[in-house]
Structure 1
Amino acid sequence: MDVTLKVGQLASQTGLTVRTLHHYDEIGLLSPSRRTAVGHRLYGEEEVRRLQHIATLKHLGLSLEEIRDFLDGPDSSLEHALSLQIERIDEEIDRRHKLRELISSLLDRLLSGEPISVDQLTRSIEVTMNYEKYYSVEQLDLLAKRRSVVGEERIRAVETAWKTLFAAFGKAMEEGLDPTSPEVKVLARRSSSLIEEFTGGDPGIMRALGNLYQGEGPASVMAGNDMPLPPGLWEYMGKAQAAVRDDGPSGGGADSRMGSERR
């Protein structure tokens, strides 16, 4: 005998909500076999079996749209859906590896006696995760290789250099020095050298770095790098960088976007 269930009964048996089943119907994923005269949804054995397939495919991580296309399409659609899911799993594994590297680096700093607050830890993780929004997989791999080649000792030295440089820019601004003055342009050239060391002169990485600062905001990125940004300092540094660029190649200017070796 064919089993017929109302939407509430099907929801109760499967642990889903009535709203979820209504949504499945709206997107064409699971429609009732028929409706009563007053419009109530009724589901038969075929719909129950389809719902079991949906639950299994959801467990694999497929989206509802992908599940619908697979169930309603040719068998080859499963191959495509599973291939996409493998790519997602690989990306997640890569993210986990990067997170592990970050945590390991932070642990090494703690073990070496460097104090790190919870706020600094949180900001560092947020900034590192944001890198994935702005850098391609290839660029992230290149940066990871550069980090490995350079070594932790040089990375720490660059981080210290940036902090010293930001302090020098801040002092110059407080003293009222014109950002286009020779003294401040010396600082701008130093920042260009550090940016060049980080990007390796790669224009794609340079653009991604600029997009990161534009998208997340300089204050947020610098705070994540444990370098709070005083009001007006970013604009002051930008003017100094622009002045260096105006000097031409002999001025040593590379770009007005600041970066940090830390990831």
Structure 2
Amino acid sequence: MPDAADADGLTVGQVSARLGVTVRALHHWDEIGLARPSLRTAAGYRLYTAGDLERLHRIVVYRELGLGLDGIRSVLDDSTADVPGALRAQRAQVAERIERLRRLGAGLDRMIDAHERGLLLTAEQQAAIFGPRWNPDWSAQARRRYGDTEQWRQYAERSASRGPEEWQAVADAVAEFDRALGDAMDAGVTPGSPEANRLVERHREVFASYFPLTRQMQVCLGRMFETDPGFAAHYDGIRAGLATWFRRIIDADARAHGIDPDTATWE
């Protein structure tokens, strides 16, 4: 075996530093026969020649392009290998990954916007979907008031995946529920009755379009529907006294499930 001085080669450590490849990777490539050092010192240390270094340069280039080690071996050692074809196939895979990352980036942008804005609709779209009395500033007001809550995060996650058609379906479901609520009150449905309890359950299902609603949280909403001027005006605009009646059927249903409406909290 020639001495290191005679070989005039590079050690594993020197090659690692020069190519930016770990010593472990060089040892692995040696073990699998992909890039073996041509020389060794009398003491048995590996030494890489200029030719070895050239091969390693090519391995590093192809690896950075995403080729696997078997593919690299074929490109370097198989004289019949279709190198342009292999590179085109790799390019197609890279293009697919880029497209997936682009979609991921777009999804992240929507999620960020949803957490910051709530509704990802223009003012015109909101008016068309929710009606002319809808105030586009309501979403920003809700963000300032509830932005640090778990419910806002859940709402944002739902909002990020919705466009105008999905929000129209939500608005239609809410409008249909409001009509059913008014019709039930007109029909004399009494709080605590099966019909009233079904309406309360339906309200939780419809409201789940925004975030999951527990019975205790529903009781808190019922209070707000009756006492908040905006909500009270909405329900009483459907039927006079509907805001109070709605709270009563919510409270009755809560009592039937062991919840005291007077002490219920947002949980």
RCO higher in structure (CA 8 A, sep ≥6): 1
